[in-house]
Amino acid sequence: MVLPAAQIACAEAAPTSPIALQLPAPAVWLAAEDSQVYAVTTQSELLTVLDGKAKVLAKNFSSTFIAACSDRVVGVNNAGQLQVWNGRTVETAPNTDLSPLAHPVCLPFGIVAVSRAGDLVRFDPAGGGWREAARTAANALPDAQLTLANLDGAGDEVVALTRPDSARYDHGILGDTAEATGITVFERHGLGVLARLSLPAPYVFEDLQVRPVRLEGGRDSLAVVRSSPTGGAALALVSGGPGKLTLQATSPDFGQTHRWLAPVAGFGQLWAVKTPHIGGLLAQYTQAGDTLKVSTLIAGVSSHSIGSRNLNAAVLTAPGQLVIPSQDHRNLLSVNCRAACRVTGKLALGGTYSSNLLLSGGQMWVGDSSGSLHGWAVN
C-alpha cells in the first residue's frame, strides 16, 4: 500500500533536537571522513564543522563537488585546477584543464579527476603539490561523477559513465542533453581500461554516476538509470567480471518518454524515487532473475530538482530505513520501511535543500537555501 502525501505532512516532528549552523552562503556539497564534516558553498568556500561552529578553511576551492579521504579534501575550482586541503593548507597541481562539473575520486595515495575533454587524469603527491601521473582518453561525461567499485573481488577500480551522445534522447533532466551510452571501468593506477559496456541505440544511461551495491558475495554490482525515447527510465543493474560488464537485470520502464527516476543504493538494497518532479513515489526494487521487481511504498517525496547534478539527496541509513526530502524540498523525512512503511520523523529546513544528504557521525547533514547547515540524529 502506498502511504499518501497527506499522511507524510502529518508525520511527527524529529524526536531529537537538531542543530543548525549558519554558513556564509548555502552549501552545495558535503563530504566527511570519519566524523569530520566538510562543505563547499555557492561562493566556492571550503568549510568544516569545528566545536559546533562553521570554520572557513579555504576560498576558491570548488563550487560543485568535494571528496574526502586519507586526511585530505579534494575539489576542482572553476579555473580547472585541482585543489587539495591537507589539513593545514591548499595544495594544487599545475593543470588548468579539469572539469569543475565532475566529481573526482580520492584514493589512499592519489586522486582521479575528469578533464573538460573527458580524459581521466590521475594525480600523485609531489613536493607539497600534485603532479599528473597518468592520463587516458576516457571519453567520459564532462560532468561524470566518478565512483570506486570492486566488481571482480580483486579491489576497487574507477568507474565512469562514458561516450556522451546528444542525439539519442532529448530529455535533459540532469542539466544538459548529452547522455552517456557506456560504462567503463579503469585500473586505478595507470587508468588502463579493464571493462566496458556499450548500450545499443536508442538507449542511454540517463545518469551521471553508477552506484556500487553489494547484493550478495564479495563483489559489487552497479545501479544506474537506463532510458529510451519510447519507454523513459528504468533502473538497471550491471555486473562485472574479468574484462567484461554485463547488464544483469532491469526494471520495467515507464512506457512513455520523459519520465525519470532517482536511485538510492546501499546495505545490499535498491530503492528509487520515481518521477521525483511529479508526485514522487518511493519504490523498492528486488532482483528476480534478469528483472528488478518494483514495490511502490510512499507518495509525495522528491530527491531531485530539474536540471540539478545533485543525485545524492536521499540516503539509506540502515536496511529498510531512509532519509528523504518531501516533495516541496523544505523538509527531511525519516522513513522506516522494515515492515509497513511509516514516517518516523520530520525536520523542517530554513528553505529548500541545497546540498546532498550526508550521513556522518550518527547524524544526517544537509544544507539549505537560507545558508543553514543542519545536523539531525535519526533513529
| Residues 266 and 376 occupy one common structural domain | yes
Find all residues with CB under 8 Å of 303, minimum gap 6, and list them. Answer: 262, 264, 273, 276, 280, 313, 314, 324, 325
**Count of domains forming the chain:** 2
User: SS3 helix, strand, coil % of the chain, rounded to 5?
Assistant: 0, 50, 45
Q: Which amino acid is at 148?
A: L
If one counts every other C-beta atom within 10 angstroms of the C-beta of residue 55, the result is 10
Question: Above 70 in pLDDT, residue 9?
Answer: no
Give domain status of residue 66, yes or no.
Answer: no
188 backbone φψ class: left, alpha, beta (φ>0; ψ -120 to 50)? alpha
**Same domain? 216 vs 311:** no
- Residue 224 shares a structural domain with residue 180: yes
User: Structural domain of residue 229, as residue ranges?
Assistant: 140-259
Mark which of 209, 232, 259 sits at the end of a domain.
259
Residue 3 has pLDDT above 60, yes or no: no
With bands split at pLDDT 50, 70 and 90, how would you rate the model's confidence at 166? Answer: very high
Clarify whether residues 172 and 186 are in a common domain.
yes
**pLDDT tens digits, residue range 250-262?**
999 999 999 999 9
Q: What is the mean pLDDT of residues 221-232?
A: 98
Give domain status of residue 83, yes or no.
no
Among residues 207, 237, 259, which one ends one of the domains?
Answer: 259
User: Are 144 and 165 in the same domain?
Assistant: yes
pLDDT value at residue 242: 77
Q: What is the mean pLDDT of residues 59-77?
A: 96
Q: Are residues 221 and 265 in the same domain?
A: no
Domain membership of residue 95 (yes or no) is no
Q: Pick from 259, 290, 309: which residue ends a domain? A: 259
The closest alpha carbon to 233, from 320, 304, 301, belongs to: 304
Same domain membership, residue 296 and residue 325: yes
pLDDT in tens, 286-325: 999 999 999 989 999 999 999 999 999 999 999 999 999 9
Selected residue with higher pLDDT from 218 and 92:
92
pLDDT at 35: 86
Q: How far, in Å, CA of 57 to CA of 153, rounded? A: 38
The answer as to whether 48 is a domain residue is no
**Amino acid 218: pLDDT:** 82
Q: For residue range 341-351, list pLDDT tens digits in order.
A: 999 999 999 99
Query: Looking at the structure, do residues 146 and 247 belong to the same domain, yes or no?
Result: yes
Q: Do residues 167 and 251 both lie within one domain?
A: yes
Residues 179 and 192 in one domain: yes
Q: What is the mean pLDDT of residues 346-375?
A: 96
Percentage of residues in the chain with pLDDT exceeding 90?
86
Q: Are residues 280 and 369 located together in one domain of the fold?
A: yes
The angle formed by the CA atoms of residues 376, 377 and 379, to the nearest 5 degrees, is 130
CATH code, domain carrying 269: 2.40.128.630
